[in-house]
Each structure stands twice: as structure tokens, then as C-alpha cells.
Chains A and B, each alone.
Chain A
Amino acid sequence: MSISLKNRSLISISDYTPEEICHVLDIAEDFEKNPHQNLLNGRIIASLFFEPSTRTRLSFETAIQLLGGNVIGFSSTAGTSIQKGESLADTITMVASYADLIVMRNPIEGSARFASEVSKVPVINAGDGANQHPTQCMLDLYSIRKTQGTLENLEITLVGDLKYGRTVHSLVEAMCNFNAKFNLVSPVELKLPSVVKQHIKDRNLEYHQYTELEDAIPHSDIIYMTRIQRERFPDPEEYEKVKNSYVLRNAMLDASKPNCRVLHPLPRVNEIHVDVDANPKAYYFQQAQNGVYARQALIASILGLK
């Protein structure tokens, strides 16, 4: 049976089955070969960013324009009726009457799920606080499949902030569908939450916890670096203690496998030294570029155009 994602909101990566995820990745592959496709033909997509974003917003808007669509929306709440105290339900109801699809980033956790229940048009979650960021997960999966040729049976090393990093949580959940083995490298204060670890245990998959990055590098297919996010720390002193825990340097990759690739959701601060950038194993900028194709694929699928 053919897979259709028409009118299916994407709020959490687990909303889509592994087959549906692979379907989106196949379409993204097609967009990478041929990004200019006038499928939207003037349709209107609302881009509602209740908090600032660089990559996610720009790559969504690029994706929409490559598909021949128009964008309405805002990139911060300044000057909008939200500042006058309008409820999220009212904002979404109004925008849903203007646009064919809503892309929303909002710092309130669960806001995207709620918006999808209020809206008469589908909603794509572009990040809801520390909760979910499924389109980032989709482009991470695309990047992993593209560099490794498969999503199956890979060894994924996750480094840095495994506690607050929502991209890490979604990626673990998604990769559990593909028989991955996980290496978890983090300071004790930033270990993967037990609720996320439970996904690995539920599937009887292997995982190892490390405090030294060097110990995990030699057997990794993917090294997924993350920024230690200052904004997620309730206590600034705690942030100071762990902020420089892991820095990946070019020489450290000498011990890595030939197929190993370094990913990072960006922005980076200092956790990947700039001397890694020229190494062919550094893949984070291509990864960000893949975000456009993954988002094109999602928009086109959800609108029933692919």
C-alpha cells in the first residue's frame, strides 16, 4: 500500500512510523537532486516563530520558496497581537484560516500538539521549548542515511548535553527503530534522562555510557556533537562547571573509522574545534543544508503533493 502523509501534522518524530520516516527521506533525496519544483504553485504557508531561530526558520522559508509557495508569519512576537495577550488558540485559529499549512516554533512545551488540535490545517512543529524538534530529527536521519548508505545497525555516539538536548532525545527514539547501538558521552550532570534511556531498553538495544570522548571514537559510525545550552540551565554556576566538557579536535578523528562522520545540529560554540571543519569527516554544514530538502519533503508530503 502506498504511504500518504496528507494532512498529517508532525509534532513528535514518533508520530510517524519508521516506514513513513523512510518515505519522507526518499522524497528528500529526490529534492536534493532537483530542489526547484513548483509544487506549491502560490499556496500560502504560515511560519510562526514565537522565539528567534536562524537555521530552522531560514531553511523552512527556503524550502517553501523552492517549492513555489508564499510565506506569511512572524519571526518574533514583537508587534503581534500575542503581546496584547491573545491566546495561542485564537492565534492559531486565525492563521489556519489564512494558510494551507502552519510551521510553528514556540518556547512553550506541548504548544505544537495543542496547536495541531485547534488548527483546521496541518501543523509542523519547528521546536516546542525543550520538548520536540522533529524536523531536525528528520534531517539528522537523512544525513545519517546519506553518509552511511543505511539507517540499520549503526553505532551512534551522542556527545555533550544529553539531558536537555531535545535533538538527542528525538534521535535516540528514532534510531531505536533501526537497531542502533548507542554510546552516550556526557558529564554526569547531563546524562540522558531515564525516560529516553527506557526507549533503548524497551528495544533491548545495546548502549554504553562514557565520560571520555576518546574512548567512544574508534568504533563510531556517527559522532553526534551537541552544544551545552546555557539557556536550559536553571543555575548559571552549573553551566560554568560543564560548559567546556568536550571539545572535538581534528587529531582525535585519526582513530575514527573511515566511514565515520561528525554531525552537529548547530550552532556550535567551541565543542567542535574549527580545525575539524576541513576534515572530510566533518558533515555538519552539509547536514544543515540537508534541512532544506527534508523540510521540502515534509511540506510536499503533508500537503499531499508528493
Chain B
Amino acid sequence: MEKRKELTVSAIENGTVIDHIPADKVFQVVKILGLDKVTTPVYFGTNVESKKYGTKGFIKASNKYFAPEEVNKIALVAPTASIIEIKDFEVIRKQTVSIPDRIENIVKCFNPNCVTNKEHDVPTKFVVIKDAEGNIKLHCHYCEKNTTQDKLEFI
């Protein structure tokens, strides 16, 4: 009997491929981009072999394109991600993500006494501060405390 071959995810005709996502961050990226709420087909994979990173994750979202400010939201969790736009099975654009200067309502403020954690329906707002070593801190617009990368918690 012929050995069954590994099932691979088919190419999409139109839409966006997000590749080189850190393997453990795929579900966060799905959530940040709101792909858990769409009605169009979304394929994803995780712990896939990657020459560059060892393992990686990817997402293929059919009939879906993202504005730059939308994809940049994922830069906090997936700075290595590449965004590939597909039309008629052809790659029409490939880009990397960059961390935006301001981040709204994606990440929680680490300060439990911040108004965004104490009151309902106060969206979080941060200014992104990058230091010389490339570390990122999020300066809360409300309580003025800095949330460091190790304390990032997504909403």
C-alpha cells in the first residue's frame, strides 16, 4: 500500500500569508488580527520546520488584506513575521512588520491600579519607547508607568 503523504496546506488564490511567526505566537497573532472572528477561510500551522528559525508558524487568510497599521500590531509578538499578499495565486507584495509608535487596545497595562484595569471599557493606550539595545517599553498614556516586554499581556 502506498504510504500516505503528509498533508500540506494548499496555496490560497487571493489573500494574505503571514509567514515566519514564532511557533508559539500563532494563536496570539490570530487574535490580534481578529482572524478568530472572520467568516472567510483561515489556515494556520505551527511548529513547522524553518531553515532560518528552526521552527515557525504561519497563517493563510483567504480574501483578506491588512492595512499597514493593522499588521504592525503583531510586531510586538512576531517581529520576524513577513506579510505576503497574494492575488490569483501570485505574490504581489511582500513586507516585514515594524513596531508602531503608538499601540491602542492590544496590550494590558501591567499596573493593576491603572484606570484601564480598574474601570470597564477604558481602552489601553501606549507610546512605544525603544532603547539603544532594541528593547521595548510601553509608556501608558493614563498611569504613565512603563510596561516592559517581559510583562506584556495581550487583551
Stretch binding the partner chain, chosen from B1-9, B10-18, B29-37, B110-118:
B110-118
Given contacts A12-B144, A131-B143, A132-B144, contact A109 B119 (CB under 8 A): no
A interface footprint on B135-155 (CB within 8 Å = 1, 0 otherwise): 000001111111000000000
B118 to chain A, nearest CB (A): 5
B interface footprint on A121-139 (CB within 8 Å = 1, 0 otherwise): 0000000111110000000
Q: Are A107 and B141 in contact (CB under 8 A)?
A: no
In the bound complex, CA of A12 to CA of B143 (Å): 10
Given contacts A110-B143, A131-B143, contact A88 B114 (CB under 8 A): no
For A111, the chain B residues whose CB sits under 8 A away are 115, 118-119, 142
Q: Are A110 and B140 in contact (CB under 8 A)?
A: yes
Q: Are B120 and A108 in contact (CB under 8 A)?
A: no
For A113, the chain B residues whose CB sits under 8 A away are 115, 141-142
B46 to chain A, nearest CB (A): 36
Is B48 on the interface with A (CB-CB < 8 A)?
no
In the bound complex, CA of A107 to CA of B143 (Å): 11
In the bound complex, CA of A110 to CA of B113 (Å): 9
Is A87 on the interface with B (CB-CB < 8 A)?
yes
Q: Are B143 and A88 in contact (CB under 8 A)?
A: no
Given contacts A12-B144, A113-B142, A131-B144, contact A87 B119 (CB under 8 A): yes
- Among B119, B120, B121, B146: residue with most chain A CB under 10 A: B119
A14 to chain B, nearest CB (A): 9
The range of chain A's interface size is 10 to 19
In the bound complex, CA of A195 to CA of B148 (Å): 12
For A114, the chain B residues whose CB sits under 8 A away are 115, 119, 122, 142
Contact of B116 among A12, A107, A110 (CB under 8 A): A110
The range of chain B's interface size is 10 to 19
**Number of CB contacts from chain A to chain B under 8 A:** 52
For A110, the chain B residues whose CB sits under 8 A away are 109, 114-116, 140-144
Contact of B113 among A87, A89, A109, A132 (CB under 8 A): A109
B129 to chain A, nearest CB (A): 10
For B141, the chain A residues whose CB sits under 8 A away are 110, 113
In the bound complex, CA of A110 to CA of B118 (Å): 10
Q: Are A109 and B122 in contact (CB under 8 A)?
A: no
A interface footprint on B72-88 (CB within 8 Å = 1, 0 otherwise): 00000000000000000
- Chain A residue nearest in CB terms to B120: A87
Q: Are B146 and A108 in contact (CB under 8 A)?
A: no
Q: Are B145 and A109 in contact (CB under 8 A)?
A: yes
Q: Are B118 and A108 in contact (CB under 8 A)?
A: yes
Given contacts A110-B140, A113-B141, A114-B122, contact A88 B115 (CB under 8 A): yes
A176 to chain B, nearest CB (A): 16
B39 to chain A, nearest CB (A): 33
Q: Give 5 closest A-B pairs by Cβ, nearest first.
A: A110-B142, A109-B143, A110-B143, A110-B115, A111-B115
A-B residue pairs in contact (CB < 8 Å), sample of 6: A87-B121, A108-B118, A130-B113, A131-B145, A132-B144, A195-B146
- Known: A110-B109, A110-B116, A129-B143; 15 extra A-B contacts, CB below 8 A, are A12-B144, A89-B119, A107-B113, A108-B114, A108-B115, A109-B114, A110-B143, A111-B115, A111-B118, A111-B119, A113-B115, A114-B119, A114-B142, A128-B143, A131-B144
